[in-house]
Amino acid sequence: MKFTLDLHHVVLYVLLAVVTLSALGVAHGWIVDIKTAKVKEAADQYAIAAIEKDKADRAKQYEAQVQLLNSMRITKPLPPAILVQRLKEVEPALAIVPEQLVSPLPNTPRENLSLTPAQQVVLVNRAIDCKSCEAERAKLRIDLADETNIAAARADEVAAWKVAAKGGSLKQRIKRRLWHFAEDAIIIESLRVLGGHP
């Protein structure tokens, strides 16, 4: 059996090689896009996990702060000196409390007392409630910022996968289409020449 290699076969083999290489180039581009999306996803997942860990730590700190504040609550009337000290602990702005507000001076009549012992308890407990709310608001502000960051990371992840699914960025796709157009033009022109058309 004799093997002959004429111009027609050489052109066909070259065209087959060009088509194969272009197909491998497209496959390689898709593989690179998918690997890029996976790396981006892993980085986003790592960032999200760190944010979730910070949120969990913040929640623990908040719970500890609320427990500390709840331990300062008053359930029964206290002696005036202890009540003034408790007010100072809860709200430093109330460090200077007029004596007649919480306890009548020995030489003042009882009707000059501004707050009854029950009202004093309510005052301390309200101050504790305010501190709890302030702590919760601060925690929620940071949680909102973290949730915004998580949403942005997930949006980036989705965008990376969309690019990978489309076959790359717009620039890569245009470049690929132009390359395929050139390949098709070369193949068609070569077949026309081999067919003997002018």
Alpha carbon distance 184, 198 (integer Å)? 18
Alpha helices by DSSP H, listed for the chain, are 7-71, 80-90, 99-102, 117-166, 170-194
Query: Looking at the domain assignment, is residue 2 inside a domain?
Result: no
CA atoms within 13 A on the CB side of 3: 2
Task: Give residue-wise pLDDT tens across range 55-83.
Answer: 899 889 989 888 888 887 777 767 766 77
What is the domain range of residue 79?
A: 7-194
pTM: 0.53
Query: Looking at the domain assignment, is residue 13 inside a domain?
Result: yes
User: How many domains is the chain partitioned into structurally?
Assistant: 1
Task: Give residue-wise pLDDT tens across range 132-164.
Answer: 888 889 888 988 998 898 888 888 888 887 777
Alpha carbon distance 44, 109 (integer Å)? 69
Token code pair at residue 149: 């960051």
